[in-house]
Amino acid sequence: MVVQVLDRMPDYRCDPASTVHCQTIGVIQGMRKLPAAFAPGPRLGPGLAETLDEVQRVIEEQRLAEPVTKTGSEVKIAR
């Protein structure tokens, strides 16, 4: 997803002076804050509200939010 976003914002610029790094505990390397700026352009594709509606539709259609125990009686475990 990040690659897709950055492909649509070729002129983005990060502000390294305002970067806040995570405290390193061995394997964790990263930033808690990395301010960036870009020139706004025309909106491409659906907005946040439309995207959330579509995600909710898929969740309901595929019954992704139901507890596993609700459909557990339908599951057959091979021995």
List the beta bridge partners of residue 47.
none
- Residue range 56-67: average pLDDT? 88
> Residue 43's pLDDT is what?
79
Domain ranges (residues) in the chain: 2-74
> Residue 57's pLDDT is what?
93
What digits encode the pLDDT tens for the residues 11-55? 888 898 999 888 777 676 788 898 988 888 887 788 889 999 999
Give the confidence band of 9 by pLDDT, cuts at 50, 70, 90: confident
pTM: 0.41
Q: How distant is the alpha carbon of residue 34 from its chain centre?
A: 17
Alpha helices (H) along the chain: 2-8, 48-61, 68-71
What digits encode the pLDDT tens for the residues 68-78? 666 555 655 55
Among 39, 40, 36, 56, residue whose Cα is nearest residue 48 = 56
The amino acid that residue 63 corresponds to is R
